[in-house]
Each structure stands twice: as C-alpha cells, then as structure tokens.
Amino acid sequence: MIKQHSSGIVLAFFIIMAGIFFNPFSADADEFHWGFKKATDGIPPDAGGALNALLEKHGAIYKGKPDEKIVYLTFDNGYENGYTESILDTLKKEDVPATFFLTGHYLKSAAPLVKRMVAEGHGIGNHSYGHPNMANLSEKRMEEEWTTFDKLLKDVAGVERTIYTRPPEGVFNDKVLAKGNELGYRHIFWSIAFIDWHADKPRGRDYAYGELMKQLHPGAIILMHTVSPDNEQALPSFIQDAKKAGYAFHSLDDLVMEYENVHSIFR
C-alpha cells in the first residue's frame, strides 16, 4: 500500500515538473503561435490568462473594449496580387481607415500602392523586412528586420518610421515583444481572422463575408490578406452591413490612445 502511494507521489511529481518545464504558455517558451477559439455571438475571444498577461506586460494589443461597437481593419501584405487597388477604392468610398502591415518585398514591388496608402491616410505597419520567424532570431537580427524595413519605407513613401509591428505568421516570444518595446514598437495582433492567404485557392465572396460577420464583435481587430479575391469582393458588403449593425471603423491610433488612457488609470 505504501509502495503504491509512493509510486503515485513520484508520478505526480514528474507530471507537475513536466507541466512547469513544458508549459506552452510559459513566458520563457521558445515561441508562441498566435491563435484562439473564434469569436461567436458578438462575444470577443480570449487568449487566456497566460498570454493575456504576457501581452499586457509589453503593451501588445489584440482587441479593443468589449462594450463598444468599434472595429479596426488591418491587412497583411507580403506581395501584391492585383486586389489592393480595389480594396483601397472601397476604403475610400466608405471612408474607413485601415493599417497595412507590409514586408520589404512589398515596399519594393508595389511602391505606387504604398504611396497611395499613405496619401489616403492609412497606417503602415511593420511586418518585418524579410518575413522570417522572429522568435528564431537574435536581438540584433530582430532589430535589423524592423529598422531595415523602416529605412526602405522612408525612401519609398517618406514615412519616418513605423510604430506598429506584427510578427510574420503570428510567431513570437517574450524576447520579440521586449526587443520591440525597446526600439519603440508596439505589437498588434488580432481577434478576427480566417484562412484567406491561399491566393490559388479562392473560396468565394460569401465565404469571406460569412467569416467576417460570424466573428464580428465589439473591439475587433480584423486581420485580412490582400492576396485574396474573396476579401476584395466581400469587403464592400461587410463594411456596409457592419455599419448597419451599429459598428464604427476606427484607426489603430484611436485604439492605442484608448488603451493608454485606460491603463493610465491603474498606474
């Protein structure tokens, strides 16, 4: 009987220790892959206590206030596929701001569109220069990815530097967030996304529209990819119908200002 209890105690000890050392939500984990259960019924998703605490530590944001019908449009642009001009036309017609997270390749290959984004008042986010796994880089290489992008952006569009950054494929760790803060960057994640980056596998306008409307919630940061014809086709109806449902579209600058105001109360 004693031996049985002893064995159980030893087993429990090793399970606890394994949980400590291999917990995927540990701040010292090699890397995190951003993701969570999709929002439904207008209820914002929750990344969980551990990830929420990690993001809070570094001022990273993935959603706004849950009691205000405000949403924030963001797009990731790794390369141009012919749909961004139409997306910009829609944003202009509907008077909706957006932030475009670009790569170095996009800056070099689609400079006229970048200049148009800036001229029409949209934000430019830093999606890194070469789209690497940032969590695998040294701090020096992280800095090079962000600052090389910024230097090219200044040459292309006259923007002095970016403030908002988003890790390629949502892969990050504590060191990425900390180094970004040190250099003056704030990480912006998202609370609404769907599979829309396979340019050669369109699923149709209704698919994109349906995903956006099903996941829509107050404070949503929406991630879309401009390579998708589905998004180009769905965007006008989505914006119009979200507005009819009482939603307003604000910029990331508005979101960050709100975030700072709320958190200043607790400092």
Residues tagged active-site: 76, 225
Taking the C-alpha atoms of residue 189 and residue 55, their distance in angstroms, rounded to an integer, is 10
Longest dimension (CA), the chain: 77
Amino acid in the structure at residue 174: D
Sign of torsion, CA 157 158 163 165? positive
Taking the C-alpha atoms of residue 148 and residue 137, their distance in angstroms, rounded to an integer, is 15
Strand partners, 73: 98, 222
Pairing of strands 164-165, 98-102: unpaired
Sign of torsion, CA 148 153 154 160? negative
